[in-house]
Chains A and B, each alone.
Chain A
Amino acid sequence: MSKSNLTRRGVLKTGTLAGAGLAVPTIFTSRAHAFTNEPTGGTVTLGFNVPQTGPYADEGADELRAYELAVEHLNGGGDGGMLNTFSSDALEGAGILGNKVEYVTGDTQTKSDAARASAKSMIEKDGAIMITGGSSSGVAVAVQALCQEAGVIFMSGLTHSNDTTGKDKRANGFRHFFNSYMSGAALAPVLEANYGSDRKAYHLTADYNWGYTTEEAIVSSTEAMGWETVNTVKTPLTQTDFSSYIAPVLQSGADVLVLNHYGGNMVNSLTNAVQFGLRDKMVNGKQFEIVVPLYSRLMARGAGENVKGIFGSTNWHWSLTDAGSKAFVKSFGEKYGFPPSQAAHTCYVQTLLYADAVQRAGSFEPCAVVEALEDFEFDGLGNGPTLYRAEDHQCFKDVLVVKGKENPQSEFDLLEIVEKTPVEQVTYAPDHPQFSGGSLGTCNNGG
């Protein structure tokens, strides 16, 4: 009995060896490819790199939902969402260039190292041709640089720092989300209209790159309309209790507090500021006000009632009533039961934009895609007419100024749109000082 068993195993072994011999090992260097991860076999793989652990995990989960929805729509499933409202009609719901869209996911942990490791594994192991996602500028800049080196396209997710399309811009990277400069430019007129041009502002700023660029943008645009900046104080990223930073605000004689914070920092500093009763105070004969330059609905939820009446800016909001937004909210809401966040929106749109560019270019080759995206004008994706500027790969579109809603009807109904600042007001020259340094370089096909 045991003998026959042995024999059979022996046969199997020889069989494998012979098979390997027949297959003739094909040795080639990776340079033999026309470009990195050229799709073969009728499918194309996209890499969705979002925070799944760590403090931004919920935002990452929402991004992932949007990506799954986008893939469904690209492959012709569901109701098609924004494909029906998109001004370009290159996409037909039959995948990309006839290739079925598949995807892999990874965890950035909101750490540049982990994000790069995850992106690399998608590129090297899973053959992803495009990487997208992320929930912070540190990660976006790090992964964008990686994609440039590897020769794949990077369509950034939520990243608001000027640097992403400023000093750290890359030819293979594209940003649909708006940035600190735009927030400042959009907010300033609304703040002037509501709070007047004679105000004294006190800034609390998260002590890292994004905080610096946001502070700079808000300070310069508010000072341009006549506000005075009383003080700017940096707060550590790991700070949880902001009381010792907020308490001195009133002593300084300021009548506006600007919180250049995001995520958990924003939730805590805003909660603390309201706790200290700043908004009930009258200073210099005026009502004391708080401003949060970058709003995120997911995070605003964490601050609860404290957001009421507070101005900020956002890239997109589900209550927009244009056809594109309505179509997206409908398909997202029907699939998941609640409205999408701005992070979900930008991720969905980025995926569509990439697919469309490939379709129009007729090739997955990164340089061809870059060419198709540069100076591409489109509409119907929720932000009105939009331009992907060639000089810095930044999208230019209207910016929403929002306010915490006084009487929310549901747990999602936290913000109301105050103003749609037109694109002309937030456009800047590519060599604007806040974006200086760095260069795109040339697109990289890898290979």
Chain B
Amino acid sequence: MDAIILQILNGLDKGSAYALIALGLTLIFGTLGVVNFAHGALFMIGAFCAVTLSKLLNASYTTIDETKTDFLGNPLKVETPYVMDWFGPEAGAAIIDWSVPLAILFAIPIMILIGVIMERGLIKHFYARPHADQILVTFGLAIVLQEIIKYYFGANPIPTPAPDAFTGSFDFGQLIGFEANQIIYPYWRLVYFAFAAVVIGAVFAFLQFTTFGMVVRAGMSDRETVELLGININRRFTIMFGIAAAVAGLAGVMYVPINPPNYHMGMDFLVLSFVVVVVGGMGSLPGAVFAGFLLGILESFASMGAVIDVLPGINQIIIYLVAIVILLTRPRGLMGRKGVMEE
């Protein structure tokens, strides 16, 4: 029982990352009709926004400490971050400590800007082209973006920890009456889950309750009619692309304390998030979120020792297996609309 609760928790957490990425993908597909293979790269760039901010905050000047020596026997150079000088050592250290949450503020404008530039500069020219062309050009873009990041940040992962207040874990099991150490859960993962829930809620509320959102939703189901009404749907769609990029970026920012980011993390998530979108149903926002959590939980269950013992290697293929079964039994995914992307 406790093992199952534990894996559900893990699955929710993994699922929230999948759901956030898939949500952005679906927004782009639903509004613009574009299959964006560069979406994983946006997630990765979001993560590197956090890295960049942490590096900026750590920008230092060098003093030489004659009492110590470095590995070559020369006097040791000591680096002091400027923020420590400006805000005093304690406040400075706190700012550096909180660099990941701070990066949310930093990443939103950057990601929206990147999204808008991408849409206006590249995607716009591909609305009338076949889906295969869209996939291919965004795939090319993904390669270019990740190579640029690799050029500046290297291939190794870069540790970017969560604030001290959120490190460590708490005993969830004891809370609900199990023995100690049966169900432990890291604080930051709870933060991530809550954050994902807020972002998903915000996106849905935005689409549901604002006029902007209403127009966009109308445009998603019938673009021509909305255009006939004299509404400039294109401009709104550009903004939607920016928002989708920001959602992916935020998912990336908050992900860095969970796993140190590297340049290929986008590609690692890309295939998975496409599977999520297709399982949920192309163009269905609730489908994307639901499928994200579903696959996250299934993946967690498949990794349980008891399951692997019965079906060796199941943890390697579970996601794909689920995708195949669902696509064969429910051709349009769990919540998909008819006739989307089948030409």
Contact = CB atoms under 8 A, between A and B. Distances in A.
Physical contact A–B (CB less than 8 Å): yes
Nearest to A56: B155
A280 B154 contact: no
Interface string A249-283: 01100000000000010011001100111001101
A243 B10 contact: yes
A248 B305 contact: yes
Contacts of A330: 72
Interface string A46-76: 0000000011111100000000000000000
Nearest to A307: B159
A280 B180 CA distance: 13
A142 interface: no
A55 B262 contact: yes
Given A58-B156, A250-B181, A301-B156, A409 B68 contact: yes
Contacts of A298: 156
A240 interface: yes
Interface string B262-288: 101100110000000000000000000
Given A267-B260, A304-B159, A244 B184 contact: no
B304 interface: yes
B182 A250 contact: yes
Given A251-B3, A267-B260, A231 B161 contact: no
Contacts of B315: 234-236
A299 B156 contact: yes
Contacts, number: 138
Contact of A240 (B2, B259, B303): B259
B157 A302 contact: yes
Contacts of A56: 155
What secondary structure prevails in chain A residues at the interface with B? helix
A250 B71 contact: no
Interface in A317-332: 318-319, 329-330
Contact of A236 (B11, B17, B316): B316
B14 interface: yes
B149 to A, nearest CB: 12
B260 A302 contact: yes
A329 B73 CA distance: 11
Nearest to A337: B72
B150 A275 contact: no
A275 B186 contact: yes
A346 to B, nearest CB: 18
Given A56-B155, A236-B315, A240-B265, A333 B72 contact: yes
B90 to A, nearest CB: 19
- Interface size bracket, B side: 35 or more
Given A271-B159, A302-B159, A412-B71, A207 B167 contact: no
Given A240-B265, A247-B7, A298-B156, A329 B72 contact: yes
A207 B305 contact: no
Nearest to A413: B71
A241 B305 contact: no
Interface residues of A, number: 52
A241 B258 CA distance: 8
Interface in B277-316: 299-300, 303-305, 308, 315-316
Interface in B1-34: 2-3, 6-7, 9-11, 13-14, 17
A88 interface: no
A2 B2 CA distance: 91
A238 interface: yes
A303 interface: yes
B189 A251 contact: no
- Which residue, B17, B160, B260, has most C-beta atoms of chain A within 10 A? B260
B168 A280 contact: yes
Interface string A289-303: 000000000110111
A339 interface: yes
A231 B305 contact: yes
A375 interface: no
Nearest to A232: B305
A303 B76 contact: no
A275 B167 contact: yes
A424 interface: no
- Which residue, A234, A275, A333, has most C-beta atoms of chain B within 10 A? A275
Interface in B137-167: 150, 154-161, 167
Nearest to A55: B155
A306 interface: yes
A90 B265 CA distance: 48
Given A244-B299, A271-B159, A277-B186, A57 B154 contact: yes
A272 B258 contact: yes
A234 B10 contact: no
A79 to B, nearest CB: 12
- Which residue, A240, A276, A413, has most C-beta atoms of chain B within 10 A? A240
B169 interface: yes
A233 B308 contact: yes
B37 interface: no
Given A275-B167, A304-B159, A251 B71 contact: no
A264 B262 contact: yes
Contacts of B76: 409-410
12 contacts: A241-B14, A241-B17, A247-B9, A251-B2, A275-B168, A275-B258, A276-B169, A276-B184, A304-B260, A305-B159, A339-B71, A410-B76
Given A55-B262, A57-B154, A275-B258, 17 more contacts: A59-B156, A234-B308, A240-B265, A243-B14, A243-B189, A243-B300, A247-B9, A251-B3, A264-B262, A268-B259, A272-B258, A272-B259, A277-B184, A302-B159, A305-B161, A330-B72, A410-B71
